[in-house]
Homo-oligomer: A and B are copies of this chain.
């Protein structure tokens, strides 16, 4: 690398897809989402043609606020030395998250935290591209010491210390090469939510359930929580269609209070749901724990709206979740998700990431693959959510084979969208919106 190379520009775009027109993505709390990305591109003067791409995922209104937050944080990077910045992403993360004035807007939650996610993920994308490696491989080749330097252990040490994290990573080190071989050969298991949106009719539900099994998935997921009778009918259709051996997860998207959650899930128990996801407020650690006790042996999963590692820590401490559903852009990007993977490994809880949306599959697969190679070392009961939706907009779209994510081989972190997509879906002036029904 040359001396003097710098980050020269951080550009943002408000990109929205009019998914509400088709009721894709409809659930009990999100009847009409327009999947959106507050998108960021980091440019340099390195002359190698490489840029870092990242985004925060939202579902429409407010994406302009998310974009404004990324503008604020992104502007801090302009002019920084390129190599030092990319080689010191632990320090960069700490600086962005703990800035003494900005943290008032969170702290470590919501818009300002997702803005850090977008920027941090874009920096990782750029680092991986410069290394010529997919992110999962780049992370999997870092030493345990380099990995713990990426993690902020503040507020975690009552559950996970730096030394404990090092021990977890060192224990996984000898098996890295073999697991990388397995990963490249077989991919990483996925499950599909495509059949289960509330906006679909029964015929479409049954057809998509059949297709999921035909495609090799061993787990599907149904949205629930709007109407119990509807849920029973849809669960019966799904169970009858896929048979007893396919796992059916259910997802309430925060619809219930604690008591009603227990009652509702118990009323669906005859259909053997594999897990119930987001039964109540994502902030309610004690509520999730009460629900977990109330619906056992059915398991609780959550995470797509869990604001940060401190909340995940408590969900594990309270035995409130049996599955941790990390999201690539909700917490502050790759670094914080390494913390989450380490917490899950410490507590022996499988990580089954939230994905779907737009681009979340492309991003989060790298984290699960890294987890398998270098952290937990396990695939047992671990699946990445998959939704067959909007992948065509990405330069490196995910590839599914027999229900598994094929390990990406192209360089980067997966966030880069085609230029034509960015132009067409830019809000409000892209052709899709200027010409569309919005």
Q: Hey, which bits of chain A sit against chain B, CB under 8 A?
A: 29-34, 58-62, 64-66, 68-69, 72, 99-115, 154-158, 254, 257-259, 280-287, 290, 305, 307-308, 310-311, 313-314, 317-318
Contacts and interface: CB of A to CB of B under 8 A. Distances in A.
Q: A-B pairs with the 3 shortest C-beta distances?
A: A110-B110, A111-B111, A61-B101
Q: Which of A101, A103, A257, A317 has the most CB of B within 10 A?
A: A101
Contacts of A158: 257-259, 287, 290
A13 to B, nearest CB: 16
A112 B109 contact: no
Contacts of A113: 110
Nearest to A65: B69
A284 B315 CA distance: 10
Contacts of A69: 62, 65, 111
A308 B290 contact: no
A157 B305 contact: no
Given A107-B254, A286-B285, A99 B61 contact: yes
Nearest to A261: B158
Given A259-B158, A281-B155, A281-B310, A68 B58 contact: no
A321 B294 CA distance: 26
Nearest to A106: B110
Given A30-B100, A258-B158, A62 B290 contact: no
Contact of A100 (B31, B66, B257): B31
Contact of A60 (B101, B108, B281): B101
A295 to B, nearest CB: 14
B60 A29 contact: no
Nearest to A60: B101
Contacts of A317: 286
Nearest to A113: B110
Given A109-B307, A283-B311, A34 B155 contact: no
Nearest to A70: B65
9 contacts: A32-B101, A59-B100, A59-B101, A62-B72, A62-B101, A65-B111, A107-B254, A158-B287, A284-B310
A158 B65 CA distance: 34
Contact of A111 (B33, B105, B284, B311): B105
Given A33-B100, A62-B69, 17 more contacts: A33-B101, A33-B104, A58-B101, A61-B102, A65-B105, A65-B115, A105-B110, A106-B109, A111-B111, A156-B257, A283-B307, A283-B308, A284-B313, A285-B286, A287-B310, A287-B314, A307-B307
A258 B66 CA distance: 32
A283 B68 contact: no
A103 B310 CA distance: 21
Contact of A110 (B32, B61, B100, B112): B112
A287 B105 contact: no
Nearest to A286: B314
A134 to B, nearest CB: 28
Contacts of A31: 100
Contacts of A111: 65, 69, 105, 110-112
Given A65-B65, A65-B68, A59 B104 contact: yes
